[in-house]
């Protein structure tokens, strides 16, 4: 019985060593140094991963960090240089013998990350949400959590491709968003600011007839809209205040100076919205 137990312990020990060796191997990424540059030029690794550069050329080469963080000796053909990266960041480097040969080591975040292409958009306009997970897997599910102002929260599952994900969202009101994956939550919880869609039209400039409308998920009915013009110094000045009807729109009469005038409609911030403005119109009288 004792002999069998010792044999089992020995087998488990060998298995643990083999597993550790396999894990160490999987955490190492090899970059070849050739006559034309580094292959691959860009690598993505997890924190604690190691990059090994191997000179596969017939001449000497040198791996040099752009920030002075690391530097190899001159590597003869078939020689290698290794470095472990623990801190999530992007590390750019070049060949000390050929500055035009460059590469980057991207150490991924330990948890899911999230970012926005734009922090403010007009009502229903698209914003791209993107991020990554701390590996380069394809098919992993990242859950996006949305909290629109004054509305029920909801989620959307997106699938990663080589460790990254993206999703296009069309917000109708200010929305907070964050991501979760594999029990982790993104450090960031960005807010998408939304401007109302302000429509300002000329109906008949000769008769000073105009139209304004504000579109949003929350009504702007009975709110005031400021009609502004640009003066000779390029400053926007309010020339008229128009009260919208219950439907959030209004036909109105307003006089502008003779000649060419640049004008716009502007509305102040509103619950769930930042201040909004129309496109600039050129009015000729």
* Model confidence, pTM: 0.67
Confidence of residue 216 (pLDDT cuts 50, 70, 90): very high
Instruction: Give the residue carrying structure tokens 């990554």.
Output: 132
As a dihedral over the C-alpha atoms of residue 234, residue 236, residue 240, residue 241, rounded to 10 degrees, the angle is: 170
Q: Residue 20 pairs with which residues in a beta bridge? A: none
- The pLDDT tens digits for 251-284 are 999 999 999 999 999 999 999 999 999 999 999 9
In the predicted structure, residue 7 carries a pLDDT above the cut 60: no
Residue 112: count of CB within 10 angstroms of its CB: 27
Cα separation of 204 and 285, whole Å?
10
Domains of the chain (ranges; CATH) run 29-107 (2.60.40.420), 115-194 (2.60.40.730), 196-284 (2.60.40)
Confidence of residue 18 (pLDDT cuts 50, 70, 90): very low
Cα separation of 175 and 197, whole Å?
16
Buried b (16+ CB within 10 A) or exposed e, 252-270: beeebeeeebebbbbbeeb
- CB of 145 within 8 A of CB of 219? no
Cα separation of 107 and 104, whole Å?
10
> Which 8-state DSSP code applies to residue 70?
-
Residues in Cβ contact with 208 at an 8 Å cutoff, skipping those fewer than 6 apart: 253, 254, 255, 256
Q: Compute CA 150 distance to the chain's CA centroid, rounded to the nearest angstrom.
A: 25
In the predicted structure, residue 8 carries a pLDDT above the cut 90: no
DSSP string, 32-49: EEETTEEESSEEEE-TTE
Q: How far lies 54's CA from each of 37, 42, 91, 97, 100, in Å?
A: 12, 15, 18, 15, 18
């Amino acid at each position: 019985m004792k002999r069998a137990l010792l044999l089992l312990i020995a087998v488990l020990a060998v298995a643990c060593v083999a597993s550790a060796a396999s894990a160490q191997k999987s955490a190492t990424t090899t970059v070849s140094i050739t006559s034309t540059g580094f292959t691959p030029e860009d690598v993505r690794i997890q924190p604690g991963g190691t990059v090994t550069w191997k000179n596969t050329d017939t001449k000497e080469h040198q791996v040099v960090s752009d920030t002075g963080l690391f530097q190899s000796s001159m590597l003869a053909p078939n020689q290698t240089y290794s470095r472990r990266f623990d801190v999530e960041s992007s590390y750019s480097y070049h060949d000390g013998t050929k500055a035009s040969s460059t590469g980057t080591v991207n150490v991924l975040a330990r948890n899911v990350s999230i970012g926005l292409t734009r922090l403010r958009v007009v009502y229903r306009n698209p914003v791209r949400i993107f991020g990554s997970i701390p590996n380069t897997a394809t098919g992993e599910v990242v859950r996006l959590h949305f909290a629109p102002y004054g509305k029920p929260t909801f989620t959307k599952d997106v699938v990663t491709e080589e460790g990254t994900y993206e999703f296009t969202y069309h917000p109708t009101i200010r929305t907070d968003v964050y991501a979760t994956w594999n029990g982790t939550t993104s450090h960031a919880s960005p807010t998408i600011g939304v401007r109302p869609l302000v429509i300002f039209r000329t109906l008949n400039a000769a008769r000073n007839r105009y139209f304004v409308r504000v579109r949003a998920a929350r009504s702007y009915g009975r709110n005031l809209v400021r009609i502004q013009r640009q003066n000779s110094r390029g400053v926007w000045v309010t020339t008229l205040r128009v009260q919208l009807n219950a439907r959030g729109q209004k036909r109105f009469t307003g006089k502008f100076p003779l000649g060419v005038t640049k004008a716009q409609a502007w509305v102040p911030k509103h619950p769930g919205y930042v201040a909004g403005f129309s496109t600039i119109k050129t009015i000729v009288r």
